[in-house]
Structure formats: structure tokens, C-alpha cells
Chain A
Amino acid sequence: MSVKGGYFFRILDVDLTRGETTIVPIDESFVLKYIGGRGFGARLVADHLKKSGGKCDPLGPENILVIAPGPLTGVYLPASGKNSFVTLSPATGIYGDSSMGGVFGVELRQAGYDAVVLRGRAPELSVLTIEDDRVGILPLPQAAGVSTLEAEKLVREATGDEDMKIASIGMAGENGVVFSCVNADWSRNAGRIGIGAVMGSKNLKSIAVRGSKDLPVYDLDALVRVSREGYDYLKSHEFFRFWQEQGLMSVVDYANAMGILPTHNFKETVFDRADKMNGYVMEDRYKISDTACFGCSMSCGNVCLVREGKYRGTVTEGPEYESAAMLGSNLGASNFAYILKANALCDDLGVDTISTGSIIGSMIEGLEKGILTQEDLDGDEITWGDEEGILRLIGKIAGREGVGDTLAGGAFAILKRWPDMEGVLSHVKGLEQSAYDARAAISMALGYGTSDIGAHHTRAWTVASELENGAGWGLEEKAEFVIYHQTIRPLFDMLGVCRLPWIELGFPEEYYQRFYQAVTGVERSMDDLLECSRHVYDLTRTINVTLGIDRKDDYPPRRTLVDPVPSGPTKGNVVDRDEYEKILDLYYEKRGWDSDGKPSLSL
């Protein structure tokens, strides 16, 4: 197979300690095997871990942060704006990645790199500038403690360029909050696993990029033909308009109706005030415009403005479903204006909305249950729906003030200080659970339990399918379904495209094989591409096994196995532990891992 497009065949390696940059060539066999994005990141992190003797402090200068778009990023096809951030996570201590949308990744690719590797630590707070072949590290001490948006402004001033695409961390990233994000294009985040803290540990406030190169496409005519067909497919979908109007906010009603909406710290799965914070409320009263990531016709982003009341003047892009659920129903709050305020605050400070909502929810429940005292929270009394208390706590987390210092350390730090919180704080491998209850769908529990980054839904969002169609499925089918998701979804991250056209509007998988072929000139079946993705999953597992992960870490959050759903359509459901052991065995077997969850691969 020879690769005729899709790559620049080079990686930019930046040593921030020494202020040196190197161009590292990559070859055909590397790009064929790892494809790009998350695939490149996983391979590079594995190599690095091997060289470091299997040990690496995520917040030490020795950790590397890989930023990798894919061969389809920025290409004329639906939703091609994705870019992966890959590193070892300070939240979990193991492999972590996050895929960011927007336009940042496109710009980075146009600068002519297939990936950027950051290592070391700059002597002072700095901005990395990449303008095609010119790479520089500029001191930016004036940006200490400022919000992500202000950082952007300061970078524009320092570089004198209004058009650069800028990714920044907020105060939380500088303070090493283990669930801090990297933020670009106003509201696109590389979130969840603390990539902001890794950037902060490298003394890097921002990365500013300008790229001008043509993206290598092997057969442009073929690409245009397939892409037009693809855009037409999406446009003719019956939910296309609705999706443009509400985007992921439409999921609030769905999750509530199905009985999977996290409510009061995942205790309940139905929220009686969900109709105060759903997509229609957003559309009717708050939405002022639509936004889209690069190349995407579905424009799931919503810009919202609060016009009146105490949060008047708050303007933010979002929230999407996860943020609305975790900062809303999960905290017993339904005031949409407050949700917008909390969302904007999280973006400004650079913290992940999911972990923040999960952690604050567990604090409220901890107080309620008497596991925590008011003194533990610096004398603060915080209750369900207590908007001001929640907003205050978000600020304390980002600034590491008082109890915020513990909370900033994520699930592990909280459990170390208050071990009794184990049944209250829902997490897997130290990553807090995202916004889908899994008690009525064992495949979702397995998805959370075996996700390589912890309790996040993007690897295997199987809950809807199981609840809708899974009545007759056996455990075996469910385990296979989870593996199928964990195989195809990472492929999107490797190619540099968004999964939402596929999962939300049924965009057929075969398009991606056709896009890949038009761009790279490599004829490969979809199965062949999925095989690469499967290998990458084995590789990230191997990284995790090297770092001490085994079967004991592959269980869903305690609540999923212990507390039956108290009310609503999923009432009485809880995942049975014996069943879970069985499905976990089946899962390992089908993956070819041993009964302790170890693949035969070595780093």
C-alpha cells in the first residue's frame, strides 16, 4: 500500500525546557497502522512511557502532551474539525485523551504537521506560536491567572495578529486542577482528563497557530463527489433542522423520558423540572445564534444570552447536554439562566463541566448524608439548587481556595480525604461519571467500567440502543456491542472527524472509508480500518496495564451496582454484580485479553 495523501509525514517536537524544536519524520507504515489523531497520540505516549521505564508523573516536565489532528481534519467533508489531545492524565494517572472540535486543529494541520509533541517545562508562563514553519516560544507572564478569553486577547496583542487560532488554559489549568481543560474558539474544549493541568505544568498558557498550506488530498474530484453526497444525505435527514436548532440540548428531554438523566448526584434518573432546562427553553428564551465546528452542516452549537434577571448579560456558547445535566438536574438546579452562568464560568476558568457537576453533586449529597460537615466545606452550607453556593464552589476549585484545594484533585483526592464518599462520588479509575445513568443498561455500565480514560460515555454510548432495542439481547451481544462502539468511535478520533453525524443522524459508516480512500489514495476496507482502531484500544489498555490497571479497576461507579433507581421509568433497576462479572469475563474473552484484563501486547 502506498500513501498518496492525507499526511505531511512530520511531527513537530517542542522541548519547552530548552526552547528547542525538532521536526521528526514519520513513515508510511506508521501512518497506515495508527492513522492519526488519537492513534498517533497513543503510540507516541506508549513509546515515551517505554523510554521512561514505565513510570511518568503526569504533572512533571517528563510527561508529554500530543496534539494530533487526523488525515481528514480540515478536509471538505462533513464535520472535519476534530483534533485529539493525548497525554497521561493527572486525574487518573493513566492514559487520557480528548477530542476538540472547532477550527484550531484545522489551522494546526494547515501549518504542515500531523502532530505536535510538547515536552519539558518553559522557564516562565509562555505562549507557543506556530506559523507554518516558524515556531516560537514567547513569554506571557501578563496572562497569569486570566480567563481563557482574556488569554486569547493578550496573545493577539503580543503577536499583533487578529487571525491566529488560539488554544488556552484558564486559571484552573495553571493551578493544576486535575479536570481542567484546554479551551479554543471560545467554547471548544479538550476536557475531562486534565489536559489543561498538563499544559499548565509545562508553563504554557496558550498555543497560537496560523497555517497556510494546502491539505494533501489524493483525489480531489472523488472527494468532492462523495462529500456532496454526504452533505446531501445529512440535509435530507428528517431531524436535520431540529438538530441545527437544538443540537445536543435535545437530549435533555430524551434522557429524562428514558429515565437516565442524572439528578441529585445520580441518585435519581428523572428530574421533575427538566422542562425548565430543555432544548425548547433554550430556543425560545436564550438562543441567539447557531455555531458549528469546521466543515459541519449540523451546527449543534448554540450561543445563548441571558437578557434579564441577576445573570443578565451572560453570554456563552452552550450549554450542551452534558453541561446542562451535570450543572443543572444533577445539582437540583433548573434555572436555565443559572446553567448558562455556570457554563460560562467553567469555560472562563477552564474546568470540565462534567467533573465539576459530579464533584459538587457529591459534596451536596455528602453533607446531606452526614459524611461531610459544614466545616469540611469552609463553613459553607450548600444545598440542592443552591445557585450561588455552586458558583462559589466552582470559583474555589479553580483557585484552589479552602476545600477547593481538595476538590481540585478530583475523585482520588476526595476519596483519600473522605473514604466514605466512595458510594457517593461516582467515578471509574478516578474519572467522574458523565451524564448518563447506567443502572438500567448493563452495556452502558460495561462501557463506563472498561473505558480507557475512566467513566466517560464517548467510547461506548450504548444506553439508548440497549433501552430501545436491547430487550432480547443476551450478555454476549451486549459485550460485543460495547466492543463495537469502543472500536468505531475511536476511529473517528483517529481520522479527525466528529462522531455526531453518525450517531445522531445515522450517517453511514461506509462514507468514512470512502473519504479516507479519496484523501489518502489507500484502498482499504472499513473492517481493515476498524482493525487499526481495535489495535489502538489494545495499546491504550497496555499503557494502562503498565501503569497498574487490571480487572479491579474495570467496574462501574459503586452506585450503579448498589442503589436501585428509586423512581421513574427505570425504577428498581440496578446492575447485578454477578451479571457484571459475567459480562466482564465475556468482554475480556472477546477482546482476547486474559481474565485479569491484560492484553498480550507489550508497549
Chain B
Amino acid sequence: MHLTVIPERCSGCKVCELACSVGRQGVNNPKKSRIRVMVLYPHPVIRMPIVCKQCGVPKCGDGCPTSAIYRENGIVQLDREKCISCNQCLTSCPFGAMFLHEDIEQPLKCDLCDGKPLCVEACPKEALKFHPKHILGQAHRLAAARNYAKMSKVEYMDGGQRKVLHYTKARGKKDER
């Protein structure tokens, strides 16, 4: 299973940060969340939830002097026994998906909540998806195929009514990723 982020859908509401900090740290503090939403404007306009991608080759582990970062059952884990809080992983992760808070000694890291990520459940925009791996890329493959046909909408009859189906909207009403 893979936690997929769809930034185009994200509204920047930070409900994911709240659900994570409340559920995992037991405090109402988005600064203690393992997912963070970056909001940029006006050029470009982007809301990007940053969260661990559970990389096959976890770059965050590069340079970890105690080899505290390891991968198990598809999840990149931090061995809290071994970790010496040197914070090397914060700069090694190319996505910035490791977080620190001064109240907490060791880095905060997403571990997919035992297979039921709280952020995914809480997101009101379906900008976070928890998918089996074979789903990854399907939407793009579908979009590429449709684009090739240059079809933006089709009209069809449904129960005697004329209906129009738009293919090009990026808002994801019809195109599920």
C-alpha cells in the first residue's frame, strides 16, 4: 500500500496535520504532525502535503551514523533505541519529510499508522489516498490515452436526457486517480 499525495486537490486546510498530531502525539499541535502542508502563492499556486514516501532506498538513512533507519514490510522505520538525535536524516531526506519539534527529542516520521493512516481518513478533499501499489500511475496512463484522442467531452443520452461528460477537468470529479 502506498500513501499518494494529489497536490492539485489539496486546499491547504491542514486537517491532516491536526488528525496526525492529535492521533499520534496526543496533542492539538500541527507542529508535531508527521505530515506538513506547504502552501506557496501566488507564483506558483501550490499546496503540497509533504509526507514520507517510504522509499525503496531510503535516502534519509544516508549518513545516519548509527544506522537507525531501516525498512520493514514496506515501511521506513526509525529505530528509537539506536537514534542519537543528530538530525542528519532531516537534511538527507530529499523531500523534507522528516520533522523536528523542540519538545520532542527524536525526529517525527510517518509510519502509516499501522496500515490505517489518520490523515487519509481525515482529508476532506481526497487529496491523500492510500492505494495498493498497482493503482499508482493509472490515472496518468488514462489521461495520456485520453489526451491522445483529444477528446474533451462526450454527449450521450441517459434515460431520455441529454448529458455531457467532461474529460478534462483536473478537479477529479470523474477521473479517479
A residues whose Cβ falls under 8 Å from a Cβ of B: 74-76, 103, 106, 110, 149, 185-186, 211-215, 217, 220, 223-224, 231, 234-235, 244-245, 288-299, 301, 303, 305, 315-317
Instruction: Judge whether B117 is part of the interface by a CB distance below 8 angstroms.
Output: no
Which residue among B8, B19, B45 has the maximum number of chain A CB atoms within 10 Å of its CB? B45
CB distance from A71 to the nearest CB of B (A): 12
A76-B18, A212-B101, A315-B43 known; A292 vs B11 contact (CB < 8 Å): yes
- Residues of A within 8 Å of B23, CB to CB, are 224
A213-B29, A290-B125 known; A220 vs B41 contact (CB < 8 Å): no
A244-B125, A294-B13 known; A289 vs B28 contact (CB < 8 Å): no
A289-B8, A295-B14, A299-B13 known; A76 vs B43 contact (CB < 8 Å): no
Whether A292 and B13, one on each chain, are in contact in the complex, defined by CB atoms closer than 8 angstroms, is: yes
| Interface size classification for chain B | 20 to 34
7 contacts between A and B (CB under 8 A): A75-B28, A76-B18, A149-B42, A214-B103, A234-B124, A244-B124, A296-B11
Whether A292 and B12, one on each chain, are in contact in the complex, defined by CB atoms closer than 8 angstroms, is: yes
- Residues of A within 8 Å of B159, CB to CB, are none
B121 to A, closest residue via Cβ = A228
Rounded to whole angstroms, the CA-CA distance of A217 and B22 in the bound complex is 10
Whether A215 and B45, one on each chain, are in contact in the complex, defined by CB atoms closer than 8 angstroms, is: no
Which residue among B9, B11, B22, B43 has the maximum number of chain A CB atoms within 10 Å of its CB? B11
A294-B13, A316-B42 known; A299 vs B47 contact (CB < 8 Å): no
Rounded to whole angstroms, the CA-CA distance of A533 and B18 in the bound complex is 28
Which residue among A75, A214, A217, A301 has the maximum number of chain B CB atoms within 10 Å of its CB? A214
Instruction: Judge whether B26 is part of the interface by a CB distance below 8 angstroms.
Output: yes
Whether B124 and A294, one on each chain, are in contact in the complex, defined by CB atoms closer than 8 angstroms, is: no
Whether B22 and A303, one on each chain, are in contact in the complex, defined by CB atoms closer than 8 angstroms, is: no
Instruction: Judge whether B31 is part of the interface by a CB distance below 8 angstroms.
Output: yes
Closest A-B pairs by Cβ, 3 of them: A297-B124, A292-B13, A292-B11
Whether A301 and B42, one on each chain, are in contact in the complex, defined by CB atoms closer than 8 angstroms, is: no
- Residues of A within 8 Å of B14, CB to CB, are 103, 294-295
CB distance from A521 to the nearest CB of B (A): 14
Rounded to whole angstroms, the CA-CA distance of A186 and B124 in the bound complex is 22
- Residues of A within 8 Å of B41, CB to CB, are 186, 303, 317
- Residues of A within 8 Å of B171, CB to CB, are 245
Whether B45 and A315, one on each chain, are in contact in the complex, defined by CB atoms closer than 8 angstroms, is: yes
Instruction: Judge whether B90 is part of the interface by a CB distance below 8 angstroms.
Output: no
CB distance from A341 to the nearest CB of B (A): 13
Whether A288 and B45, one on each chain, are in contact in the complex, defined by CB atoms closer than 8 angstroms, is: yes
Whether B13 and A186, one on each chain, are in contact in the complex, defined by CB atoms closer than 8 angstroms, is: no
Whether A299 and B125, one on each chain, are in contact in the complex, defined by CB atoms closer than 8 angstroms, is: yes
CB distance from B40 to the nearest CB of A (A): 10
- Residues of A within 8 Å of B26, CB to CB, are 220
B8 to A, closest residue via Cβ = A289
Given contacts A220-B22, A288-B45, A298-B124, 14 further A-B contacts (CB under 8 A): A76-B19, A186-B42, A217-B27, A234-B124, A244-B125, A290-B9, A291-B47, A292-B11, A295-B14, A296-B13, A297-B15, A303-B45, A305-B45, A317-B41
Whether B125 and A110, one on each chain, are in contact in the complex, defined by CB atoms closer than 8 angstroms, is: no
Whether B8 and A295, one on each chain, are in contact in the complex, defined by CB atoms closer than 8 angstroms, is: no
Rounded to whole angstroms, the CA-CA distance of A245 and B29 in the bound complex is 29
Whether A301 and B45, one on each chain, are in contact in the complex, defined by CB atoms closer than 8 angstroms, is: no
Interface residues in B37-90 (C-beta closer than 8 Å to A): 39, 41-43, 45, 47
- Residues of A within 8 Å of B39, CB to CB, are 185
CB distance from A495 to the nearest CB of B (A): 15
A303 to B, closest residue via Cβ = B45
- Residues of B within 8 Å of A186, CB to CB, are 41-42
Rounded to whole angstroms, the CA-CA distance of A296 and B39 in the bound complex is 15
Whether A299 and B11, one on each chain, are in contact in the complex, defined by CB atoms closer than 8 angstroms, is: yes
CB distance from B21 to the nearest CB of A (A): 8
A186-B42, A291-B47, A295-B13 known; A231 vs B124 contact (CB < 8 Å): yes
A291-B12, A292-B13, A295-B14 known; A231 vs B125 contact (CB < 8 Å): no
- Residues of A within 8 Å of B12, CB to CB, are 291-292
CB distance from B27 to the nearest CB of A (A): 4
Interface residues in B81-123 (C-beta closer than 8 Å to A): 101-103, 122
Whether B29 and A215, one on each chain, are in contact in the complex, defined by CB atoms closer than 8 angstroms, is: yes
Rounded to whole angstroms, the CA-CA distance of A106 and B17 in the bound complex is 13
Which residue among A215, A245, A298 has the maximum number of chain B CB atoms within 10 Å of its CB? A215
Whether B42 and A76, one on each chain, are in contact in the complex, defined by CB atoms closer than 8 angstroms, is: no
Whether A74 and B28, one on each chain, are in contact in the complex, defined by CB atoms closer than 8 angstroms, is: yes
Whether A315 and B42, one on each chain, are in contact in the complex, defined by CB atoms closer than 8 angstroms, is: yes
Rounded to whole angstroms, the CA-CA distance of A560 and B13 in the bound complex is 39
Rounded to whole angstroms, the CA-CA distance of A297 and B122 in the bound complex is 9
- Residues of A within 8 Å of B31, CB to CB, are 110, 211-212
Whether A217 and B28, one on each chain, are in contact in the complex, defined by CB atoms closer than 8 angstroms, is: yes
CB distance from A330 to the nearest CB of B (A): 26
Whether B122 and A231, one on each chain, are in contact in the complex, defined by CB atoms closer than 8 angstroms, is: yes
A313 to B, closest residue via Cβ = B43
- Residues of A within 8 Å of B28, CB to CB, are 74-76, 214-215, 217, 220, 223
Whether B124 and A291, one on each chain, are in contact in the complex, defined by CB atoms closer than 8 angstroms, is: no
CB distance from A292 to the nearest CB of B (A): 4
CB distance from A251 to the nearest CB of B (A): 19
CB distance from B72 to the nearest CB of A (A): 29
Tell which of A110, A185, A289, A301 touches B29, judged by Cβ atoms closer than 8 Å.
Answer: A110
Rounded to whole angstroms, the CA-CA distance of A215 and B103 in the bound complex is 14
- Residues of B within 8 Å of A299, CB to CB, are 11, 13, 124-125
CB distance from B9 to the nearest CB of A (A): 8
Rounded to whole angstroms, the CA-CA distance of A303 and B8 in the bound complex is 12
Rounded to whole angstroms, the CA-CA distance of A289 and B27 in the bound complex is 31
Whether B42 and A214, one on each chain, are in contact in the complex, defined by CB atoms closer than 8 angstroms, is: no
Whether B45 and A214, one on each chain, are in contact in the complex, defined by CB atoms closer than 8 angstroms, is: no
Rounded to whole angstroms, the CA-CA distance of A289 and B125 in the bound complex is 11
- Residues of A within 8 Å of B8, CB to CB, are 289
- Residues of B within 8 Å of A293, CB to CB, are 13
- Residues of B within 8 Å of A298, CB to CB, are 124
A106 to B, closest residue via Cβ = B30
Rounded to whole angstroms, the CA-CA distance of A288 and B45 in the bound complex is 9
B36 to A, closest residue via Cβ = A163
Whether B125 and A212, one on each chain, are in contact in the complex, defined by CB atoms closer than 8 angstroms, is: no
Rounded to whole angstroms, the CA-CA distance of A315 and B12 in the bound complex is 17
Rounded to whole angstroms, the CA-CA distance of A299 and B12 in the bound complex is 9
Whether A212 and B102, one on each chain, are in contact in the complex, defined by CB atoms closer than 8 angstroms, is: yes
- Residues of B within 8 Å of A106, CB to CB, are 30
- Residues of A within 8 Å of B13, CB to CB, are 292-297, 299
CB distance from A529 to the nearest CB of B (A): 21
A231-B124, A294-B13 known; A289 vs B45 contact (CB < 8 Å): yes
